[in-house]
Structure formats: C-alpha cells, structure tokens
A = this chain, B = another copy of it.
Amino acid sequence: MRTEKKKRATKRRSGPPPTAKKLAIRRENVARILEAAEAVFATRGFSGATTAEIAERAGIPKPNLHYYFRTKQALYRAVLDDILTLWLDATSSIVAEAEPKAALRAYIEAKMAYSRTRPFASKVFANELLHGAPAVKGFLGGAMRRLVDDKAKVIEGWIAAGRLQPIDPHHLFFVLWAATQTYADFDAQITAVLGKRSLGEADFAQAAETVSALVLRGLGLKA
C-alpha cells in the first residue's frame, strides 16, 4: 500500500520531464478526482460507487477519469492511501514523556475532530474494514500494528509507573477508535436518535466531552 506514492497516475513516464503547466493540470485533476471519489465511495461503498458518478462529481467526462486512474480499484487504492496517512498521524500525542491525562484528552479530541472534518475518509475506511479489509490487510498487520504496539507500550509504561489504572492498552485503543469514529461512520443513526438533521459543532463538543470524561475517569485520571 504505502509504496509508489507519486506514480498513482496512469502512464508510465519515459520521455522528458513534464512541464510546469502540464504538472499543474495533472495535480488539479487528480485532486478533484480523489475528492469526488472519497465522497462517492463513502456514501455508496466500493461496489455501489460508479466511475460515472465520480467523474460527474469531479466535473470531468468518464474517460478522462480513466485516463488518470486506469481502474476503479486503482482509484480506490489511491483514496485509501490518503486516508491511511491521516490515520497514522493521529496518534502523535501518545508519547512516553507526555502527561497521560493531557495526552489522552488530546488524542480523543484529535480523533473526534477528524470525524467532524473528514467524515468521508472515516466512512471509506470503515466500509473497507467492514468488508474484511481486502485492500488494507497488509497495512493493518504491518505499519499500523507496529504503531499500535508501540503506543501500547507507552500506555503500559504509564500503568507500571502507577499513573494510570491497569487496563489492556490494545482494547483501550479499540474503544477509543470506536467511540470517536462512530460519530462519523454512523452519523445517520446518531442524528436520527437525537432528532437532529445533522451534527453540529456543539454535538461534537458534547461527544468529545462525554468520551473524555468517561475514559479519563475510567482510567483513574479524574477525581
């Protein structure tokens, strides 16, 4: 997955380097397509998404989309690629030197903000997991697993130092992911149950507050 970040376009380049304007066109079009694809994959799923709809949303004819991304699969992979990067970056606050309470609160808030600002990304990822993660299994068992093991060690260190109630760090992460991403992935359920049309800033603030309170007190980090 994490390979070949730069050559997600179609044709293998061989001749002279492309000129500035051409590069700009390419970048612009690729960006539009990726954005449209993320939205369509999020709302329709991989199978439900059509390249025609993605192209229309991107404002280009379908064959032009296929010029930049040979297959729907390749486009999907590219969308996932961007999302995985986001995913890895979110854990940055969890480091041994940090103060546990502040670090965990920051993590919860970062994940919640991600649910608010990038709901499509979260949904595409959720959909991928839901269907067995065929395209990201390697990533999950590789880079991601290593990262989580790493962060789990940090948590264990805090516990050993008596700064945190004992808990299984991996399952702690699973709960945190679930509790924060649910506001993006299952917003349809949450809005319906709350009787709202959509979730606003206040709702996300309330959500972050509830999760933080529950988790922090649950870990013995609050009176």
Are B193 and A170 in touch, CB under 8 angstroms?
yes
Q: Which residue of B lies closest to A47 (CB)?
A: B48
Binding site of A, secondary structure by majority: helix, strand, loop or mixed? helix
**Per-residue B-contact encoding for A23-56, CB less than 8 Å = 1, 0 else:** 0000000000000000000011111100000000
Report if A15 contacts B (CB, 8 A): no
The range of chain A's interface size is 35 or more
Copies in the assembly, this chain: 2
Find chain B residues with CB under 8 A from A137 CB: 188, 192
Are A189 and B129 in touch, CB under 8 angstroms?
yes
Find chain B residues with CB under 8 A from A181 CB: 178
Report if A162 contacts B (CB, 8 A): no
Are B218 and A215 in touch, CB under 8 angstroms?
yes
Q: Are A174 and B183 also in contact (CB < 8 A) when A141-B195, A188-B132, A218-B218 are? A: yes
Q: Are A131 and B189 also in contact (CB < 8 A) when A175-B214, A179-B175, A210-B167 are? A: no
Report if A165 contacts B (CB, 8 A): yes
Give residues 128-171 of A contacting B (CB, 8 Å). Answer: 129-133, 137, 140-141, 144-145, 148, 165, 167-168, 170-171
A182 CB, nearest partner CB in chain B, Å: 4
Are B45 and A210 in touch, CB under 8 angstroms?
no
Are A186 and B218 in touch, CB under 8 angstroms?
no
Q: Which residue of B lies closest to A49 (CB)?
A: B47
For the complex, give the distance between the alpha carbons of A188 and B132 in Å.
Answer: 5
Q: 8 A-B residue contacts at CB 8 Å?
A: A43-B132, A44-B131, A165-B217, A175-B182, A178-B186, A214-B219, A215-B218, A217-B220
The 7 closest A-B pairs by CB, nearest first: A218-B218, A47-B48, A140-B192, A178-B182, A214-B218, A171-B210, A133-B188
